[in-house]
């Protein structure tokens, strides 16, 4: 690299005044003391080589080991390292959310602290984002985790999530992702929804891409998750699917089920009335009678759910002035 090239590369951070940071790296950390020194070292090396201005936001999610002490020492010497410490363990999603809230970069990169993701992939993800994608997701094409309890459930879950949300990704679970900052800052995260961000973001009409990234086995410590995650992911998927399609029109889902149920109930009961009155058949001990009554009651309940849903939707959107749309740009608007 000759000197004029080096000079041309330098001013990136000077050119952008105040917090004109290009990249915010968000790292969730829960009891990762053994990994932190190497992680900081590799992140810093790769980011400096990449040459864009950056900040690292380390979120200590209530670690009970020396993670925070290590981060504090590192932060003393490096003001590009910002550290947030939770009072207790709130979970990886909360850690990401705290990072997103604080991020000042134009792009946000999320990465795990356990060295399973490779910081050297960041420039590739960024290059893809520069092609005009709002979300670029890493795909651990050669994932280094056990097959039966990790890779197999994950493979099935990815198929299911892709199919039901319409955002096709091989690897929702990969933490290494790049987001345009304005896209994630618009999203409120709850529970363990962080792995659904690409799908949730699609509601805003975002362009999502996926590229293969490296993955290494965990070197230190233990994974914080077990097979129990699968059920939780499935339940979260129902929430996301519902939010994506019906959050602003609950009556159309519940009401439709309710109406169908009521119509079926009426048909069943009419049939019973006809055979009772015309053919004088006893209907008191027929299971069909039970079914007919049940269908009517369920139908009424579903319509009730729909109405309550409509009220909740109004409270949700109006009390917080949440828009039910997202604008890309406006011309001649005043």
Which CB sits closer to ligand UDP, 133 or 143?
143
**Could you say which of Mg ion, ligand UDP, none residue 236 binds, taking C-beta under 5 to 8 angstroms by partner kind?**
none
* Least Å from the CB of residue 22 to ligand UDP: 23
**Could you say which of Mg ion, ligand UDP, none residue 33 binds, taking C-beta under 5 to 8 angstroms by partner kind?**
none
Q: What's CA 328's distance to the chain center, in Å?
A: 21
Which residues does 96 contact at the CB level (< 8 Å), separation at least 6?
26, 28, 59, 110, 189, 194
Which CB sits closer to Mg ion, 114 or 210?
114
User: Across the strands, what pairs with 60?
Assistant: 29, 85
Tell me: does residue 236 bind Mg ion (CB under 5 A). no
Closest CA to 212 of 141, 144, 123: 141
Distance CA(83)–CA(59), nearest Å, equals 6
Binders of Mg ion among 245-274, rule CB under 5 A? none
**Could you say which of Mg ion, ligand UDP, none residue 60 binds, taking C-beta under 5 to 8 angstroms by partner kind?**
none
Grouping H, G, I as helix, E, B as strand and the rest as coil, residue 137 is strand
Which CB sits closer to ligand UDP, 20 or 212?
212
Closest CA to 13 of 146, 142, 132, 106: 106
Which CB sits closer to Mg ion, 112 or 236?
112
Q: Interface mask (CB under 5 A) for Mg ion, residues 108-147, using x and -?
A: ----x-x-x-------------------------------
**Could you say which of ligand UDP, Mg ion, none residue 32 binds, taking C-beta under 5 to 8 angstroms by partner kind?**
ligand UDP
* Least Å from the CB of residue 210 to Mg ion: 19
Which CB sits closer to Mg ion, 174 or 262?
174
3-state helix, strand, coil in the chain (%, to 5): 50, 10, 35
* Least Å from the CB of residue 208 to Mg ion: 22
* Least Å from the CB of residue 319 to Mg ion: 38
Which CB sits closer to ligand UDP, 92 or 165?
92
* Least Å from the CB of residue 112 to ligand UDP: 4
Sign, CA torsion 58/61/67/71 = positive
Between the CA of residue 281 and those of 58, 288, 294, what are the distances in Å?
A: 75, 13, 21
Which CB sits closer to ligand UDP, 84 or 126?
84
Distance CA(54)–CA(56), nearest Å, equals 7
User: Do 28 and 59 contact (CB within 8 A), yes or no?
Assistant: yes
Which CB sits closer to Mg ion, 65 or 310?
65
* Least Å from the CB of residue 114 to ligand UDP: 4
Between the CA of residue 253 and those of 25, 202, 266, what are the distances in Å?
A: 40, 21, 20
- Residues in contact with ligand UDP by CB under 6 A are 28-30, 32, 61, 89, 91-92, 95, 112-114, 116, 175, 223-225
Distance CA(86)–CA(194), nearest Å, equals 17
* Least Å from the CB of residue 117 to Mg ion: 8
Between the CA of residue 75 and those of 39, 40, 44, 66, what are the distances in Å?
A: 14, 10, 12, 14
Q: For binding to Mg ion (CB under 5 A), which residues are involved?
A: 112, 114, 116
């Amino acid at each position: 690299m000759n000197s004029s090239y080096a000079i041309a590369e330098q001013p990136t951070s000077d050119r952008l005044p105040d917090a004109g940071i290009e990249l915010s790296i968000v790292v969730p950390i829960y009891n990762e003391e053994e990994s932190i020194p190497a992680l900081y070292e590799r992140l810093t090396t790769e980011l400096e080589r990449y040459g864009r201005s950056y900040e690292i936001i380390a979120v200590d999610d209530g670690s009970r080991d020396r993670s925070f002490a290590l981060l504090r020492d590192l932060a003393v010497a490096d003001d590009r390292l910002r550290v947030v410490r939770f009072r207790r363990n709130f979970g990886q999603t909360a850690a990401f959310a705290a990072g997103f809230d604080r991020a000042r970069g134009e792009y946000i990169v999320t990465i795990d602290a356990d060295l399973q993701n490779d910081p050297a992939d960041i420039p590739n993800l960024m290059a893809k984002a520069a092609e005009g994608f709002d979300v670029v997701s890493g795909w651990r094409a050669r994932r280094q985790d056990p097959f039966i309890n990790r890779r197999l459930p994950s493979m099935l879950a990815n198929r299911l999530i892709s199919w039901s949300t319409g955002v096709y990704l091989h690897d929702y679970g990969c933490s290494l992702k790049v987001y345009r900052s304005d896209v994630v800052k618009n999203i409120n995260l709850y529970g363990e929804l962080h792995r659904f961000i690409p799908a949730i973001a699609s509601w805003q009409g975002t362009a999502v891409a996926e590229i293969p990234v490296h993955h290494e086995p965990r070197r230190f410590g233990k994974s914080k998750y077990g097979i129990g995650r699968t059920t939780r992911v499935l339940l979260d998927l129902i929430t996301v699917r519902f939010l994506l399609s019906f959050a602003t029109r609950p009556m159309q889902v519940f009401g439709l089920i309710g109406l169908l149920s009521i119509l079926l109930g009426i048909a069943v009961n009419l049939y019973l009335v006809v055979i009772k009155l015309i053919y004088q058949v006893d209907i008191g001990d027929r299971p069909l009678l039970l079914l007919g009554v049940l269908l009517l009651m369920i139908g009424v309940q579903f319509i009730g759910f729909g109405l309550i849903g409509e009220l909740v939707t109004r409270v949700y959107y109006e009390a917080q002035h949440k828009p039910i749309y997202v604008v890309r740009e406006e011309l001649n608007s005043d």
